[in-house]
Structure 1
Amino acid sequence: MMIDICILGTCGMMPLPGRWLSSTLVRCDSSLTLFDCGEGTQIPWKSLGWGFRQLGAICLSHMHADHVAGLPGILFMVAHAGRTEPLHIYGPTGTTYITDGLRRVAPEMPYPVIIHELKGHEHFALPGGLQASCAPANHGIHCLAYRAELPRRPAFQAARAQELGLPVQLWSRLQHGETVEYQGQTIKPAQVLGPPRRGISFAYITDTRPTQQLAMLARDVDLLICESMYDDPEDLPLAKSNAHMLAEESAGLALSAGAHELILTHFSPKIHDTRQAEKAARAVFAKTRAAKDGMVVSLDYSNEQEA
């Protein structure tokens, strides 16, 4: 299995020609999860061609308009695609109030909308087998950063199973963690499974100042998707007053977290060429890319974990 991630939009504050508001769509085992939902999010999503029916969850960082105003359009598109299964919306305190207000133009859907308000530090399941957690961000209002992981089962040791004389028909049950009885013996999964293996993970952090808590949330992730509101060090006072980050601060967060790769997004409308942000970040954290609208990244289990 793998995780496919599309950066639908890369702009903060307001959409621009050729640059939609910051939002990220994640596909895992054909199921979809959306992170943030600014105005017009359904348009780049429609161009992507992943469909809408499989959207099972939306994770909102906070309640500013550039992160939530696209909800009615997305809910309509999901309904039009024929979804009847519940759709879960996760977000900080205030998510219910804002969602209910936005849904006044979309009051009746053919599927239940279930809202979960989080304080930070919670763990919860996302579609496709993803295991998620969150942490408070530092943005002046209730704001959350998210981490999602796809666990990986230990490798099945066929040679051990053969030594125990186990028929092949029992292997799958053991591989999936089930204890089996065979010829008077109780065989536990640990007897035929290898050591624990690292899964794959990503973190989504936006609209915040860098904090140690966020570095801990993103510890050792394969990919950190992080805001880069400003690219000029002279904008540091502005970044501090608006509770955002410079590109080099985003890179510092990736470095502190031990992330494997950094993708910058949520650029200020005044940034027309994101190469400067990328250059500034790479001086701190070499494996950095500036996102482009529609960029797709796939995360898979690393080769060294195949043994």
Structure 2
Amino acid sequence: MLDVCLLGTGGMMPLPRRWLTALMTRYNGSSLMIDCGEGTQVAVKEKGWSFKPVDVICFTHYHGDHISGLPGLLLTMGNADRIEPLTLIGPKGLERVVNALRVIAPELPFEIRFIEITKPEEVIEINGYRITAFRVNHNVICYGYTLEILRQGKFSPERAKEQEIPLKYWNPLQKGQTIEADGFVYTPDMVLGPDRKGIKVTYTTDTRPTESILRNAKGSDLFICEGMYAEEEKLEKAKGYKHMMFREAATLARDAEVGEMWLTHFSPSLIRPDEYMDKVREIFPNSYPGRDGKSVELNFEED
């Protein structure tokens, strides 16, 4: 089970009823964030979630509306007596940017670990997530993220018995361990069926449509995509500032064959995104406007 919450849906500046960009997920006792705009920790509190279990924060890029909430969040974590390490992931320059922001949060009771992304696409395995970071097309270096919870094949006691594998090795094999004992090598594939469908969420913002989004979002259960502009007359502005139109996001969702799409990162001038959804749903029916605090519980498919 993966909980997903869109904490903030605003682009450029916070509004009275719209926080800046941030996403939060919860899985197996660990929480992950993508982006941390101004007001993120307030948005977490409004949702009733806790930032104490946040172990990983990913950043798409280093514009203020995506990272300006970090110093305050770090201070609050420190004041809550957090001692567990915090891992930050982001484009090259992450450590320099964060250390500059930490002028106002210089002393923390926990370690910060940095993973800087330097390639067009990188995969990071951490806390049960497989995170794929992929370059998108903004006016600064920017990445989208795909989060996957993989699910191994079903354990088969029958196969274990047929191969006379001792009972004491069943559990470690089921956990993916290879066992060498008594002159034999027992591997997980001897007792596990084919991999089962896991959970996949793709998040991308501040970009024009790209092949990398289409490829990485393919088959996602949930696709969260920026919709900076809805009005057709804003197309040239979207191209100039390298943002995305509602209909462009819907086309990506349709072509990537995702389960559901949420739009986010709305322009401050876009007060009522709901009014434009009929045309969006003509392209991809299972589309929804994001709103602060919108959440879903994603579960594994039944066997």
TM-score (norm. length: structure 1): 0.92
Corresponding residue for residue 75 of structure 2: 76
Structure 1 pair 249–160 and aligned structure 2 pair: CA distance change class (3 A): same
Corresponding residue for residue 34 of structure 2: 35
Following TM superposition, by how much is the alpha carbon of 1:215 offset from its aligned partner in structure 2, in angstroms?
Answer: 0.9
CA–CA separation in structure 1 for the residues paired with 2:186 and 2:93: 50
CA–CA separation in structure 2 for the residues paired with 1:227 and 1:267: 7
Within a 5 Å distance, the mapping from 1:234-253 to structure 2 comes to 234-253=233-252
Following TM superposition, by how much is the alpha carbon of 1:56 offset from its aligned partner in structure 2, in angstroms?
Answer: 1.0
Q: Secondary structure at the match of 1:122?
A: strand
Mean CA deviation greater in 36-45 or 49-58: 49-58
Following TM superposition, by how much is the alpha carbon of 1:165 offset from its aligned partner in structure 2, in angstroms?
Answer: 4.8
Q: Is the 8 A contact 1:6 1:296 kept in 2?
A: yes
Verify: 1:291 aligned to 2:290, yes or no: yes
Q: Is the 8 A contact 2:197 2:301 kept in 1?
A: no
Within a 5 Å distance, the mapping from 1:263-274 to structure 2 comes to 263-274=262-273
Q: Which amino acid counterpart does residue 125 of structure 1 have in structure 2?
A: E
Structure 1 pair 94–178 and aligned structure 2 pair: CA distance change class (3 A): closer
CA–CA separation in structure 2 for the residues paired with 1:40 and 1:177: 41
Q: Structure 2: any 5+ residue segments left out of the alignment?
A: none
CA–CA separation in structure 1 for the residues paired with 2:178 and 2:292: 48
CA–CA separation in structure 1 for the residues paired with 2:122 and 2:184: 40
Verify: 1:99 aligned to 2:105, yes or no: no
Following TM superposition, by how much is the alpha carbon of 1:180 offset from its aligned partner in structure 2, in angstroms?
Answer: 4.2
Q: Secondary structure at the match of 2:57?
A: strand
Q: Which amino acid counterpart does residue 176 of structure 1 have in structure 2?
A: K
CA–CA separation in structure 1 for the residues paired with 2:99 and 2:184: 57
CA–CA separation in structure 2 for the residues paired with 1:75 and 1:44: 15
Structure 1 pair 285–16 and aligned structure 2 pair: CA distance change class (3 A): same
Name the count of aligned residue pairs.
302
Q: Deviations over 1:127-155 (max 9, x none)?
A: 3x001111111111111111111111110
Corresponding residue for residue 121 of structure 2: 121
CA–CA separation in structure 2 for the residues paired with 1:184 and 1:102: 56
Mean CA deviation greater in 46-55 or 67-76: 46-55
Within a 5 Å distance, the mapping from 1:222-261 to structure 2 comes to 222-261=221-260
Q: Deviations over 1:181-226 (max 9, x none)?
A: 6887654322221112222111110000001122112121111111
Corresponding residue for residue 46 of structure 2: 47
Q: Secondary structure at the match of 2:255?
A: helix
Within a 5 Å distance, the mapping from 1:82-93 to structure 2 comes to 82-93=81-92
Corresponding residue for residue 108 of structure 2: 109
Q: Which amino acid counterpart does residue 133 of structure 1 have in structure 2?
A: T
CA–CA separation in structure 2 for the residues paired with 1:258 and 1:243: 24
Structure 1 pair 123–184 and aligned structure 2 pair: CA distance change class (3 A): closer
CA–CA separation in structure 1 for the residues paired with 2:157 and 2:250: 43
Structure 1 pair 60–186 and aligned structure 2 pair: CA distance change class (3 A): closer
TM-score (norm. length: structure 2): 0.94
Q: Is the 8 A contact 2:71 2:104 kept in 1?
A: yes
Q: Secondary structure at the match of 1:160?
A: helix
Q: Deviations over 1:72-114 (max 9, x none)?
A: 1110121122221221111113323321221100011101112
Structure 1 pair 182–291 and aligned structure 2 pair: CA distance change class (3 A): same
Q: Deviations over 1:235-268 (max 9, x none)?
A: 1111111111111100111122222211111111
Q: Is the 8 A contact 1:264 1:278 kept in 2?
A: no
Tell me the percent identity. Answer: 40
Q: Which amino acid counterpart does residue 248 of structure 1 have in structure 2?
A: R
Q: Structure 1: any 5+ residue segments left out of the alignment?
A: none
Q: Secondary structure at the match of 1:75?
A: helix
Q: Which amino acid counterpart does residue 212 of structure 2 have in structure 1?
A: Q
Q: Is the 8 A contact 1:23 1:41 kept in 2?
A: yes
